[in-house]
Amino acid sequence: MLRAKNKRYFCDIAKAQEFGKLLWATGCAAGADRVRQLVFICDGAVWIWNLIAHYFPNAIQIVDWYHAVDRLERIAEEAFFDQVERQAWLESVTEDLWQGRVEFVIEACQGLTKKSNLAKQSLAYYRDNVERMRYAHFRAAGYMIGSGVIESGCKQIVSRRLKLPGAQ
C-alpha cells in the first residue's frame, strides 16, 4: 500500500505569478530542487501546470485521479437519462482511464458532444492532460495518483483554522 511521506502544506492567497515564487522558495526550503524524483499531483488547472513546468521542469506531473473521474461522472449524468446506459458507459470509460488509455476516453467523450456540453468542454481537459493521466504507468512506477491525503490535510489544518472565530 502506498503512503504519502514527508507531507508539507503551504497555502497563500496570491496571484499565480506571486504564488509561483512562493512555490519555488518553499520547495527549495524543503529540498525539492535536490531530489532525484519529484511528483506533483494536481487537479488539472493550467496555471498550476505552468508554474510546475517553470519552477520544476523535471517533475513528474499527474492529474489527480479523483478529479479526472469526477468529470466523467458529471458527463455521464448529463448525457444519459437511462441509469443502466449511464452506468455501462461510466464503467467502460473509467476502466480506460484507470488503464491510462486516455485516447479512448477522449473518443468516448467525443461521441457524447451532441448530448453533453460538459463532454464537449472536457475534450480539451483530457487532450491537454494525456501524459499526466497515464495512470497504469504511474501505478506501476509506484506513484500515488490521488491528492486526497493532501486535500484532506488542507481541509483539516488550513480551512478549519481559518474559519475559527476571530481568525484572519
pLDDT of residue 30: 87
pLDDT of residue 162: 66
pLDDT of residue 107: 98
Q: Report which secondary-structure segment, H or E, holds 162.
A: helix 160-162
User: C-alpha cell of 142?
Assistant: 509506484
pLDDT, tens digit (0-9, with 9 covering 90-100), for 65-108? 999 999 999 999 999 999 999 999 999 999 999 999 999 999 99
> Is a pLDDT exceeding 90 seen at residue 163?
no
Taking the C-alpha atoms of residue 157 and residue 136, their distance in angstroms, rounded to an integer, is 32
- How far CA 68 is from CA of 17, 82, 95, 106, 153, in Å, comes to 26, 22, 12, 12, 20
Mean pLDDT, to the nearest integer, of 105-113? 97
Other C-beta atoms closer than 10 Å to the C-beta of 53 total: 13
Residues β-bridged to residue 39: 60
Cβ(49)–Cβ(61) below 8 Å: yes
pLDDT, tens digit (0-9, with 9 covering 90-100), for 51-63? 999 999 999 999 9
pTM as predicted:
0.85
pLDDT of residue 154: 60
> Is a pLDDT exceeding 90 seen at residue 151?
no
Mean pLDDT, to the nearest integer, of 26-34? 89
> Is a pLDDT exceeding 70 seen at residue 6?
no
